Amino acid sequence: MASVLLQEVPTIVHSGWIERRAGAKNVDTVRALCHDLRQPLAAILLLAGCEGGDVRHRMDGILDQAQWLSDMVEGVIGGAADDRPIPVDVSDLAFRCVLRARPTATCRIGFVGTDTTMSVASPIALSRAVSCLLDNAVRAAGPGGQVTVDVTGTDDEITIRVLDDGPGLGKVPSNNSLGLTITRALVSACGGRFELRPGTESGMVALIVLPAISSREMAS
């Protein structure tokens, strides 16, 4: 009997370890989702509280933010099944992220894009990654600062650059580390790579690089 119990102990310990690891992963997933929900929720509250102006325009903005909230939640609940890699116009996707970020931004957010920016990626994951970088860049630039999203493409790769004129890496307000961790994981899930570089004169440049697909590949 003693020998049987001794043989079962490693299995029990191993099972508990797996359960703890799974639980920690679930906590990280929920924490990452909560991080990403903050900005669209703030935008909805801001748009709903505005008085005057174009009511229809505000309602469209609220609906767009609410749809984005729903997409993120469904993407996490459904996992890979609800966010499969598909051909994505990266320039259009990044521009939509800029539009969603502008209502709550205290700085200017510019956008520059091109037409040749097709890649195969998970659209919700990629949108979350770009939105995380925008959130960090806006916080770094501060009131009156400048953030620019620049999307370029070659035959081989598509590059999203998020530039800010803030004080630089390590000198920005707190709460940025989680966003960067989320970004790395999301970009990796899209088959891309993520880099951070110092700006030419100030601030930081965050890059997401994705493999490009040609019109011939899309047709096939």
pLDDT at 206: 95
Average pLDDT score over residue span 176-184: 75
Mean pLDDT score across all residues of the chain = 81
Residue of 206 and 16 predicted with greater confidence: 206
What the chain holds in terms of domains, given with CATH numbers, is 84-219 (3.30.565.10)
pLDDT > 70: percent of the chain: 78
pLDDT at 17: 30
Of the candidate ranges 7-11, 45-49, 128-132, 133-137, the one whose mean pLDDT is the lowest? 7-11
Q: Compute φ and ψ for 170, nearest 5 degrees.
A: 85, -5
pLDDT at 160: 97
Average pLDDT score over residue span 149-172: 88
Other CB atoms closer than 10 Å to residue 177's CB: what's the count?
A: 9
Of the candidate ranges 70-84, 103-117, 179-193, the one whose mean pLDDT is the lowest? 70-84
Q: Which residues, including other chains, have CB under 8 Å from residue 120's CB and lie 6 or more apart?
A: 85, 86, 87, 88, 191, 211, 213
Torsion (CA) 208, 214, 215, 219 in degrees, nearest 10: -100
pLDDT at 217: 63
Residue of 216 and 24 predicted with greater confidence: 216
> pLDDT category, 177, cuts 50, 70, 90?
low
